[in-house]
Structure 1
Amino acid sequence: MNNWTLSLKNLLHKPLYAFLSIFALSISVGLLLGIQQLDISIQNQFENGLGDIEMVVGAKGSPLQLVLSSVLHIDNPTGNIPFSEVEKMSKNPMVKKAVPISYGDNYKGYRIVGSTFDFGDIYKAKLLKGREIENSMEAVLGNDVAQRSGLKIGDKFVSSHGLTQNSIEEHDQSFKVVGIYKTTHKVIDRLIVTNLESIWNVHEHGEEHIEEENDEVDHRHEHEKEHDNHKEDTKEITSILVSFKNPMGYMTFPRRINTTTNMQAALPKYELQRLFRFTGVGVKAISWIAYIILLISCITIFISIYKMVKERAFDLALMRTYGASNFQIIYIVALEGFVMVLASLLFGFLFSQLGLLFIVNMFKSQFQQDVVLTFSRNQMIETLLIVTVISILSILLAILPLLKMNISKIISDEK
């Protein structure tokens, strides 16, 4: 019988102690690895989703809400701004690109975003099938949308009013799918992209339909004529996605917009850093809870091994009398602790992956966004080293009585 088999049999001799020690240590390892991996993955996902967007301009309100709604598309917009602002901003010598977007409708929960040809370039999106948008009421699907909705090139679909799935307030006009983007692992994967004219046409048609039902017949044509005359002046968009030619624009342009216009400018990277500072408090709290559980589990391992040494003192003393050295005795006892630690690390990693799988699926169902799980190798190694060092320390403390074992006294007392 080798030492590994002997250690396993000793552990199974007291299964409750072994189970409690392994379970507690597994939970702490799972929490530490899981919360760190989730935090890093979400940060990378959000930062990767920014594309080439350095500033977003929209209606007054919360700058964080503006970034979440117009850049990451996981919140409601702050309002609309005039389309005429796009041309003014594009002419600024510090602005490299000003891309307008307009949204407010969805198809099965996926947002329909109206923009220009530059929108796909922001996320470096390339076509997998079909072609780019050429006419009004045409759409290109993000890869996730195409896979989950079942839409194909040439299919037609009807949009619903609002940003959540709603089959009651559907528009009359239908979109035609003309293209599908390749996977980018960015926000555009879960968007339906069309041109601005399509968004305006859908909403103008709806507004005119309501007005025709409420207005008197003899005033209907007069209203339509006035509407056409002022059509260009009343066009609105949700926000403008801006990139700069040089750092000077990044430093001065947002302040100028916020102080001299009725719009607001938000810097996505800055707002996300603020968001991560808030969420970092929760991450630290969960990490501290995990470390507390780690200490408790190591104490449990210490008590389990220490009690085993005391209860089996006679057997260990006999082994010494039959020629076993101190090192051999310590090795056999310490091996039980190492088996528990290795089992805990394995189960802890499995727990963390199962928990992350559940959270990612929940995130996907609520926000329709995949989170690509990523590891920070240095952080993972650091966490595992901390767990291993604390566990080994508890094992060493538990086997100290073996070094002071009085063999003759133990054997005589047992007789």
Structure 2
Amino acid sequence: MNNWKISLKNLIHKPLYAFLSIFSLSISIGLLLGIQQLDTSIQNQFENGLGTIEMVVGAKGSPLQLVLSSVLHIDNPTGNIAYSEVAKMKKNPLVKEVVPISYGDNYKGYRIVGSTLGFAKVYNANLLEGREVENAMEAVLGNDIAQQSGLKVGDTFVSSHGLTENSIEQHNESFKVVGIYKPTYKVIDRLIVTNLASIWHVHQHGGHEEQEHDDHEHDLQEADDREITAILVSFRNPMGLMTMPRNINANTDMQAALPKYELERLFRFTGVGVKAISWIAYIILLIACVTIFIGLYKMVRERAFDLALMRTYGGSNFQLFRIIGFEGILMVLASLFFGFLFSLIGLHFFVNLFKSQFQQDIILTFSTDQMLRTLLIVIVISVVSIVLAITPLLKMNISKILSDEA
């Protein structure tokens, strides 16, 4: 019988010890891999969702809320601002592109965003089929919505007031689907894009102004009393990024927020929680390794007579090391397998929870360096525990052990 079979039989004869050791080590591995991968994936998802947006301008309030609501579309807006501000901002020589957005309605929980043709360019979104919006009450679907709703080019749908799904406050007018975007894996995949005239029309702010391709907002500038939710801005050079936000915040009744800066602040706050969970996982890891050490050390002590007999029949220290060491290695290998399994189950749960809360899929991103570093830490601590447990074999007094048992 080879050493692997002997070690496996030893574990089977100690089911409670084996279960506790493997379970605790698996939990720690699953927590470490899962929380690190989830944190990396969410950060990449949010940063990727910024597109070319360098500044967002909206109503006074929380700058983080402004970014989450108007850039990532996972929060409520801070309020509205005058549409006339768009024309003023376009005249600034530091500004490269200005994209106004307006929203407040949804279809089955998916936000309907009114904007210009520049909105799709922000996310580098191209049409899969159909055409861009040309007239009021036309819409182009993000790829996720097209797949999940079953809507096709030519279909119509009725929007509801608010940003969450409801059938109580439905509008009378229906939108017509004129196009579907290719998947971008950005926020636009889960948005329904129309023009500003459509948003104003369904809220009884005016009629159906027909607009041309590149001049969506041109005919609408006549109505200075109209409002939008926010303005997405990109700059020609870093000078705009350095001066404009401060000027807007100090001298206007609006606020300017920098998406990258606000997300970095957000990740600093969430990073505290990630570190706390990681430390808990490391503590569980240490407890698991101590359990393995105690179990193996106890086994060496209890089976000292059997091990001493093996030595008298020609067994070497290395052979004894392998019998005991393989038992620990089997537990570590089983823990790695179940740890990966637990992390996948946990990630699947959180991805579905995130999707149900924010109508957004998370693309899981594997950080190979981080994963290898975590696995190396687990293996090193486990191996140290195993080595410490079998070192008494080196000091074993064979003649004393045999005489005591005789």
* Shorter-normalised TM range: over 0.9
Residues 205 and 226, structure 2, Cα contact 8 Å, conserved in 1: no
Residue 71 of structure 1 corresponds to: 71
Partner of 1:136: 136
Q: Which deviations, in whole Å up to 9, do the C-alpha atoms of 1:76-108 show, x marking residues without a partner? A: 001111111111111111100000000000000
Tell me the secondary structure at the aligned position of residue 234 of structure 1: coil
CA contact under 8 A between 1:137 and 1:175: conserved in structure 2?
Answer: yes
- Matched with 2:330 is 339
Q: Which residue type is aligned with residue 324 of structure 1?
A: G
Equivalenced residue count is 393
Task: Could you tell me which runs of 5 or more consecutive residues in structure 2 were left unpaired when the two chains were aligned.
Answer: 208-220
Instruction: Look up the equivalent residue of 1:194 and give its one-letter code.
Output: T
After superposing on structure 2, the runs of 4+ consecutive aligned residues of structure 1 that deviate more than 3 Å are: none
Distance 2:125 2:288 in 1: 49
User: How many Å apart are 1:233 and its aligned residue?
Assistant: 2.0
What is the alpha-carbon distance in structure 1 between the residues aligned to residue 202 and residue 16 of structure 2? Answer: 66
1:231 deviates by 7.1
| Structure 1 residue 205, shift from structure 2 partner | 6.1
1:181 aligns with 2:172: no
Q: Does 1:358 align with 2:375?
A: no
Q: 1:235 to 1:206 in 2, by over 3 A?
A: closer
TM-score, normalized by length of structure 2?
A: 0.95
Match of 1:326 among 317, 320, 336: 317
Q: Does 1:123 align with 2:123?
A: yes
One-letter amino acid of the structure 1 residue matched with residue 395 of structure 2: K
- d(CA) in 2 for partners of 1:206 and 1:303? 77
What is residue 282 of structure 1 aligned with on the other side?
Answer: 273
Does the 8 A contact of 1:171 with 1:206 survive in 2? no
SS in 2 for 1:204: coil
What TM-score, normalized to structure 1? 0.93
Cα distance in 2 between the residues matched to 1:374 and 1:412 = 61
* Cα offset, 1:272, TM superposition: 0.3
Distance in structure 2 (CA, Å) of the matches to 1:80 and 1:374: 36
Find the aligned partners of 2:67 and 2:4 in 1 and give their Cα distance.
57
Is contact 2:200-2:206 (8 Å) kept? no
Partner of 2:250: 259
Superposed displacement of residue 75, structure 1: 0.4
- Corresponding residue of 1:25: 25
CA distance in 2, matches of 1:89, 1:76: 24
How far does the alpha carbon of each residue in 1:202-235 deviate from its partner, in whole angstroms, 9 at most, with x for none? 111699xxxxxxxxxxxxxxxxxxxxxx971211
1:56 aligned partner: 56
The residue that corresponds to 2:211 in the other structure is none
Q: Residue 41 in 1 paired to residue 41 in 2?
A: yes
Q: Structure 1 residue 176: deviation in Å?
A: 0.1
Between the aligned partners of 2:53 and 2:155, the Cα distance in structure 1 is 31
Alignment partner of 2:292 out of 296, 301, 316: 301
Give the alignment's Cα RMSD to 1 decimal.
Answer: 1.3
Q: Percent identity?
A: 78
Tell me which residue corresponds to 1:382: 373
Give per-residue Cα distances to partners, 1:15-59, cap 9 Å, x unaligned. Answer: 110110000000000001100000000000000000000000001
Aligned twin of 2:113 = 113
Deviation, structure 1 residue 282: 0.6
Q: Is contact 2:95-2:233 (8 Å) kept?
A: yes
Q: Higher helix fraction: Structure 1 or Structure 2?
A: 1
